[in-house]
Structure 1
Amino acid sequence: MQRNTLERCEDAISSLKQELQELKKKYEENQREIAFLSRPNIKKALESFNEQGSSDDNTDMKAIEEKLVHCDQERWFLKEVTGIQLTAYLKKREKKTKEAITYSHILVGRCIFISFVVMFKTLEEQTEKCQVIHINIYTDCEDNSELMKLISRTHKSLNLLGFFRSLSTFAEWCEYRQSTFFQFMDTYPQEVGLTPLSDYMILMNPDLPWCELILVWKIIIRDDGVVIPVLDLLPKMPEQAMALDKTGVMKNAGVNFKTLLHAVGLQEAIENLIQSFCMKRSSD
């Protein structure tokens, strides 16, 4: 009886620790988003929309309520399917002619861990044809070169739908990469080293502190918007040690890893790599 009680207490403690970790992660994400939205250029744009408000005077509250319910359903569906969560949408009329109306829009949201603000203009013709005529995108990941290249291409192509498709896939791959890295770090804390939000992890053998393997995992966004993962294995060791590698084990590590990757898959390839390189001498 005492053992069962102890196990239940341990399960409860473990559950609380996990909940605290999730709350901490959510808090950090919210703080990042607040800091991102507080940037002067973004804050100024949002305030200008709020000050001017909508240019449409005639409102039907019942119709608006029905639209809000529908929007909530669509927003939930969008988040479930793409990982994109919209937190605000603002729209105002800029210019009206006999042929068309120009609108300005602001979308504020988050795609998994990436906060974004998308400002764009549309030209809506009387024939109900609508086209995007200007886009300006901001994210809180401006140090990511692949994401910045995607944004730059979107500014030129005006392909807003393509941007969100690529962003969703890119964020999913980044999240999967990070969870995979941390999974191996938790399993092999002495053999795997990580830097937060990095695109590489370091494999070490405690018996060979001067020798490391660096697993680089890039996530590339091609010009056509397709997102692909690219993995490589780089040896790091003194030149004197490399000279002693007569059979070329370290020199050919990258090629051999890619062969293993295609043969057994990502998780198994990394597991085999850790077992053979990081723990071989410890088990001998």
Structure 2
Amino acid sequence: MDAKLAEVRALQAEIAALRPACEKRTAPWEEMPRVQKSFQEIYQSNSEGWKSSEDLRSQLGRLESELSFLSTLTGINIRNYSMKTEDLPSTDMAEKSVKQVLQRHRLLGNCRLVTFQLEFQILETQDKERVSSAITDLNIIMEPTECSELSEFVSRAEEKRDLFTFFRSLHYFVEWFEYRKRTFKHFKEKYPDTVHLSEGVSSHYMAIRNASQPGFELLIIWKIQVDEEGKVSPKLDLLTKVPQRALKLDKNSIIEAAPLSFRTLLEVLGIEAALESLIKLLCPEENN
């Protein structure tokens, strides 16, 4: 009996100790509003996140559309791009407020048929008043291409470290290159026995020969020039190959004046019409 009484007293003491904790706990029906409030806050947070994600998707779509338009307009397509930044220590202890960041950029792209790789560094300097940046190094790597005339232009762009001029001039250079290629191809297909392209349609010169008049040849040299300011323009010249006997008979120096007359013809008729006139001049039978 004593053992049973002791056990009962122990259970009563345990119950007495547990009763305050049970009284402090919230009843399930009292807990529901708080749970509902928590779920509501989570839903609102997710809704704001979804709305923000939709805005980002919309903005990304607009940027992709603009980039596609620019690529179509300029022919320049950037396929790969990476950037690394490095904080540089201040060289002047008195100018501790000046912050310098070195950005290393690398991009791979193409302008229609020309593939290029650019590696350049931009030094960004920030002080209390303003932020300035400058390209400190530029390296342009051009993959082997039909455009052999690009080498001088690329070297000048690297020396000047002018990215804007590089992209602008490259766009116009490729446009002129493709136009020259189409023009030479057109005349070769139209006059296969008269027009000769020793280096194919990508050549920078075209020869006109008449099989019935051996020894006579007109050579049109068509170069694409890029000046110091990055302006791209075509330059066409005419060279003549005439037998010595014919030169002696040319009392009016018509052959000697032919290159100058050809430039005048270009200004009046344009490139294609001027070339057509030369072909028909040397080969009258082509008029038929």
Q: Structure 2-normalised TM-score?
A: 0.68
1:67: how far off? 7.4
Root-mean-square deviation (Å): 2.9
Per-residue CA deviation, residues 83-107 of structure 1 (Å, 9 max, x unaligned), is 2111111112244456122111112
Give the distance between the partners of 1:257 and 1:100, measured in 2 at CA: 57
Change (3 A) 1:277 1:226: same
1:179: how far off? 0.8
Name 1:188's counterpart in structure 2: 191
Per-residue CA deviation, residues 173-224 of structure 1 (Å, 9 max, x unaligned), is 1111111111111111111111342111111112123211001111111111
Give the distance between the partners of 2:58 and 2:106, measured in 1 at CA: 22
Give the distance between the partners of 2:171 and 2:287, measured in 1 at CA: 43
1:79 and 2:71 aligned: yes
Q: Which runs of 5+ in 2 are unaligned?
A: 1-52, 90-97
State the SS of the aligned residue for 1:209.
Answer: coil
State the SS of the aligned residue for 1:208.
Answer: coil
Kept after mapping to 2: 8 A contact 1:217/1:231: yes
State the SS of the aligned residue for 2:166.
Answer: helix
Per-residue CA deviation, residues 102-134 of structure 1 (Å, 9 max, x unaligned), is 111112111122111111011234455432221
Look up the equivalent residue of 1:140 and give its one-letter code.
Answer: E
1:281: how far off? 5.4
Out of 210, 218, 225, the residue aligned to residue 215 of structure 2 is: 210
Equivalences, count:
224
Change (3 A) 1:64 1:90: farther
1:271 and 2:276 aligned: yes
Kept after mapping to 2: 8 A contact 1:94/1:102: yes
Out of 222, 228, 236, the residue aligned to residue 233 of structure 2 is: 228
Name 2:123's counterpart in structure 1: 123
Name 1:160's counterpart in structure 2: 163
1:257 and 2:249 aligned: no
Look up the equivalent residue of 1:161 and give its one-letter code.
Answer: F
Q: Structure 1-normalised TM-score?
A: 0.69
Change (3 A) 1:283 1:101: closer
Give the distance between the partners of 2:165 and 2:77, measured in 1 at CA: 17
Give the distance between the partners of 1:93 and 1:136, measured in 2 at CA: 18
Name the larger-Rg structure: 2
Out of 180, 204, 217, the residue aligned to residue 177 of structure 1 is: 180
Q: Which runs of 5+ in 1 are unaligned?
A: 1-60
Change (3 A) 1:92 1:251: same
Look up the equivalent residue of 1:159 and give its one-letter code.
Answer: D
State the SS of the aligned residue for 2:70.
Answer: helix
